[in-house]
Amino acid sequence: MFHHRLVVTAAAAAVGIALVPGLASATDSPPAGAESHLVNTAPLTGSGALKTFTSPADKSLRVQRPAPGTRKAAASKSASVSAGPRTIYASTANGGCSSDPGTGAQDSPFCLVQDAVNVAQPGDTIDVQGSIGYFSQESVTVKTSGITIVGLGDQAWITATNASGGKPAIVLDHVSNVTISNLMLTSYGAPAVQVIGSSNVSLDSSYLTADNASGSLTIDGASSGISVSRTYVDTRYNQSGSNVTAVSVASGASRISLASDILAAGGISAAGVTGLNAVGNTIQRGCKSAIDVEGASSGVSLENNVLEDADPTTDALLGGYQSQCLANNLGWAPDITVSSDSAAGTVSDYNDFSVFGSDATAPYSWAGTTYPSLDASKAAGPLGTHDAVETKEAAPVALRPNESTDVDARPQPGSAAIGSANPNAPGALASDFYAASPYHDRGAIAYAPDLTLALQATDTSAYGVTLTATVTSVSGARSLHVDWGDGTSSDVNFAPGPATAPHTYPKLGQFPITATATDTAGYAVSNSGTIATAGSDYTPYGPTRLLDTRNSSNLPNVAGYSTTKLQIAGNVAIPAGVTAVVLNVTATDTTSAGHVTVYGDGDPVPGTSNLNYATGQTVPNMVVAEVGVDGSIDLYNAGDALNLIVDIDGYFTQSPSSGYTPVVPNRLVDTRDGSGQPRVGGGQSLPVQIAGSAGGQLPGSGITAVALNVTVTGPAGPGHLTVYPDGQAAPNASNVNYSGGQTIANSVVVPVGADGRIQILNSSWGAADLIVDVVGYYSAAGKSAYLPLAPERLLDTRDPASWSGGPLPGWNYIYMPLAHNHPDFTGFVLNSTATDTATDGHLSIGLDPNTLQQYQSGSEAPLSPPSVSTLNWRAGQTVPNMVQTGRGPDGLIDFWNASGGNINLVVDIFGLYQND
């Protein structure tokens, strides 16, 4: 929720004067050629803040980019899955799908990755689309060789849940020449990835998690030529069970490369392997060794790795640090263990050992001998000649937007890992975990100066936002790429200072924004968050009674000068997140003159009024009220004790529903004019055709609700009107309350029946004439969304600070340029009050066809009052009524005093409609 303020140049102050009402009646037709007066309002950019959403710099992530050649350009939307080589599309955003309606085209992706794999042929590529917070619940088995599976974005997530029967997320079953890149893969009770009898397989830039004791990634003894690079592997174990392995290579496997990977809560275990390069990895170990080579392995190279203890400052749930492992009788193995029968075929050097605190961690157990320090291992012979002790603990990193900060992997200034890697180490990569180069450091992540991205997104209109991105980089920011979450993106080049990018969404809702900034050195960083559009759409509801303070004795139950809180969200099935509510508020059993003000709970009482009452009077008025952040509103009674009745007609939420379309005010019904519609008898209903009416301004179908002004005149006795959709029973609610002989109007927003009609019930014993004017309608096709504003007094002709022209003379009008220079403002929610009325009359509100420039030059066309009325009065009365109004071509609105005498006019604003 936000407050947006409108400023009247003449310092429209909230004076909070209690207006005293009386009775009202209809008036005769007006003459033409009236004079005009100007209320010079400022452009409605507002002084109140729209919502701002922030994601601070400490939420930014370095961007992990797949290795060159593993990510491909997207094919066209019409890409066929029947021709090859092909691009086949799958999506992980529908995690609950059990049957697959997709075709594999970009605009109709498979919702199960397995279905995409099943139709793939050698040479095909499967693009897996992801969305934050969603994953595909399946276990995927690949049996076709020569295919590529690529995740798009950073959330292409496949999860083999417990319901999958303890299966891996992906099984590579006797395949060759398969590439998997940039996937998130999770399993429970099984490896995240299982390689069986396969060859020449590449797994790059992925994210693996599993709670499987034998490994998150397992490679069987019949597999060869398996490369795992730039991949995060996590065992998901807590500290009491961290005696597990992250990557397990079985006896018989050959040509295995593990390069620039990050391992958490577990290490590498290989037995009887022929050809193993473990190079440039960062391993935050568990209770077992970070690297364990057993079983007569040969051709093993262990170089450029950073081997570090787990510690409680990272994430204790990842794996045990030494004291926890010992306390749970899990032991504390040396960082690197090489068995006696593997020592001759193994080279270990250029590794960096990081010990937490005062823990005593042996760097090596080599050929059966444990060396408690690097000095000891180096003294024993040519073992780890270039190894180093790390004195600068690496900084923690988070690797995916929805995952916690898991591993200490980012080198800090002064680290022994910086610039000390062996560039000729077998299997060493030219770029680091993030695919950034140059890369001359030990461990998976190359040292780089701090690079952060802070985001601030601010609502600028009902559908619009502006994103501000601030980058911290030693080399300076170069470019910004923004994914807006609606299928579109923007690219912005940084000038000195922050980069800004405006955007207008095609519909209301919440959208995930992801921004990626690249600095001049080529490093990239991303940040993300969710923004909600500021506008709200309308949902018809009711009419339904929410509050009636009257008791059996009909005594006033609302104290004088007190506030009544009314819960809206959650009341009678109204959803959470409601931003504004459309109510009919009735004051009755009044014991003095006063007024009622309705506003969002938690806000101060505004200097406006919604309905005014006199002693003993029953007065209704429609209210569109902003709802407080706690989902409730307040009704302030500025007078002595009374009773309040509140009926709801609908509500607004920040999600697509029904948008508003204003129309030129048009009279639909007047039972006085002899058009064949007689006075409505007591207890009788009048059907009113809505769809297709108002000279074609209202469409023939699709209207969900209609905005009306309903007037009763000449009733034979007291009663009330109830307006409701045709085809339903009349509800226990009221829209207009009247006494015998009274003329009174009230605004109404009412759902429209399936047949395009509404009903107006005369709940009285006697007949009455009815007048119905239409001012707008709601439909799914309506574009204008509602922006609730902080209630603001725009005009009070009694107040010299607001208006210096004195009372508004009869047959004259005041024009307000409320939407001048704002073609996107399509309508307004106002409350108008006529007071100090000299003669009987009525107020008409028109959409001025003149321009502001014409008025300023004195060339405006003469006008006559419109043939509709907003409120009616008798001499001496004070009468309020809410009005929803559109705008003239130049954004001007006219307020006509259709009477023979002066009046004072008070206008308050509560919201506006905007179409972009």
Residues 183 and 204: beta-carbon distance below 8 Å: no
Q: 3-class secondary structure for 369-397?
A: EEECCHHHHHHCCCCCCCCEECCCCCEEE
| 712 and 743 Cβ atoms separated by less than 8 Å | yes
End-to-end CA distance of the chain: 18
Q: What is the token pair recorded at 591?
A: 């014991």
- Answer whether residue 524 shows pLDDT above 70: yes
Residue 322, φ and ψ in degrees, nearest 5? -55, -50
Closest listed residue to residue 725, CA positions, set 756, 699, 770, 763: 756
The pair of structure tokens assigned to 32 is 């033409």
Q: What is the mean pLDDT of the chain?
A: 87
pLDDT tens-digit map of 595-639? 999 999 999 999 999 999 999 989 999 999 999 989 999 999 999
Detail the DSSP E strand segments found in 304-394: 306-308, 336-338, 346-349, 352-354, 364-366, 369-371, 388-389
Query: How many Å apart are CA 705 and CA 665, to the nearest integer?
Result: 16
Give the pairing of strands 578-588 and 643-653. antiparallel
Tokens of residue 484, six digits? 């807006």
Alpha-carbon distance values, 280 to 180, 277, 385, 392, 880 (Å):
20, 10, 17, 18, 77
pLDDT digits 0-9 by tens, 171-214: 999 999 999 999 999 998 899 999 999 999 999 999 999 887 77
At residue 4 the predicted structure's pLDDT band, cuts being 50, 70 and 90, is very low
Task: Please report the DSSP string for 394-432 in residue order.
Answer: PEEE--STTS---EEEE--TT-TTTT---TTSTT--SS-
Between CA 225 and CA 228, with CA 227 as vertex, the angle to 5 degrees is: 155
- In what order do the strands lie in the sheet containing 611-613? 562-567, 632-638, 594-600, 611-613
Backbone CA torsion sign across 333, 337, 340, 342:
positive
Helices (H) and strands (E) in the chain, counts: 5, 66
Count other Cβ atoms within 10 Å, centred on residue 40. Answer: 12
Torsion of CA 866, 870, 872, 877, to 10 degrees: -120
- Reduced to 3 states (helix: H, G, I; strand: E, B; else coil), residue 785 is strand
User: In the predicted model, is pLDDT for residue 571 greater than 80?
Assistant: yes
- Calculate ∠ Cα 75-81-86, nearest 5°: 50
Residue 850: phi and psi, rounded to 5, are -80, 165
pLDDT digits (tens, 9 = 90+) for 807-828: 999 999 999 999 888 899 999 9
How many Å apart are CA 154 and CA 173, to the nearest integer? Answer: 26
712 contacts 721 by C-beta, under 8 angstroms = yes
CB-CB contact of 645 with 734 (8 Å) = yes
Q: Look at residue 416 in the predicted model and tell me its pLDDT.
A: 95
pLDDT for position 405? 57
Instruction: Give the alpha-carbon dihedral of 730, 733, 738, 744, to 10 degrees.
Output: -90
DSSP helix/strand/coil, 337? strand
Cα-flanking dihedrals φ and ψ of residue 460, to 5°?
-115, -15
Structure tokens belonging to residue 860: 């405006």
The residue type at 207: Y
Residue 75 has pLDDT above 50, yes or no: no
Query: Which tokens in the block code for residue 444?
Result: 């998976």
The 10s digit of each residue's pLDDT in 627-670 is 998 999 999 999 999 999 999 999 999 989 999 999 999 999 99
732-768 pLDDT, tens digit per residue, is 898 999 999 999 999 999 999 999 999 999 999 999 9
Q: Percentage of residues in the chain with pLDDT exceeding 70?
A: 88
Residue 67 has pLDDT above 80, yes or no: no
Please provide the size of the chain in residues: 916
pLDDT value, residue 65 = 67
Q: Which residues contact 696 (CB under 8 A, 6 or more apart)?
A: none
Quote the pLDDT of residue 11. 25
Contact between 634 and 601 (Cβ < 8 Å):
yes
Q: What is the DSSP letter of 164?
A: G
Query: What distance in Å separates the CA atoms of residue 217 and residue 194, rounded to the nearest whole number?
Result: 6
Q: CA-CA distance, 355 to 127, in Å (whole number)?
A: 41
Tokens 């009008």 belong to residue: 813
Rounded-to-integer distance, Cα 677 and Cα 527, Å:
64
The letter for the amino acid at 703 is I
Write down the pLDDT at residue 632: 96
More confident residue, 437 or 828: 828
pLDDT tens-digit readout, 399-419:
887 676 568 898 988 999 999
892-905 tens-digit pLDDT: 999 999 999 999 99
d(CA 828, CA 907): 12
CA 527, chain centre distance (Å): 15
Confidence of residue 675 (pLDDT cuts 50, 70, 90): low
Q: What is the pLDDT, as a whole number, of residue 811?
A: 94
Contact 782, 791 (CB under 8 A): no
Mean pLDDT score, 794-809: 91
pLDDT in tens, 356-380: 877 789 999 999 999 999 999 999 8
For CA atoms 346, 352, 358, 359, the dihedral sign is negative
CB neighbours of residue 222 within 10 Å: 15
Residues 73 and 314: their CA atoms lie apart, in Å, by: 37
On the 0-12 / 13-18 / 19+ scale of CB atoms within 10 A, 604 is: exposed
- The pLDDT, as a whole number, for residue 753 is 95
pLDDT in tens, 458-502: 999 999 999 999 998 877 888 999 999 998 999 999 887 899 999
State yes or no: cis peptide before 665, omega within 30 of 0: no
Q: Band the pLDDT of 66: cuts 50, 70, 90.
A: low
CA gap 845, 824 in Å, rounded: 20
Asked if omega into 438 is within 30° of 0 (cis), the reply is yes
Residue 130 near residue 154 (C-beta atoms within 8 A): yes
Nearest CA-CA partner of 818 in 716, 677, 914: 914
Question: Given strand 619-626, what is the order of strands in its sheet?
Answer: 537-548, 643-653, 578-588, 619-626
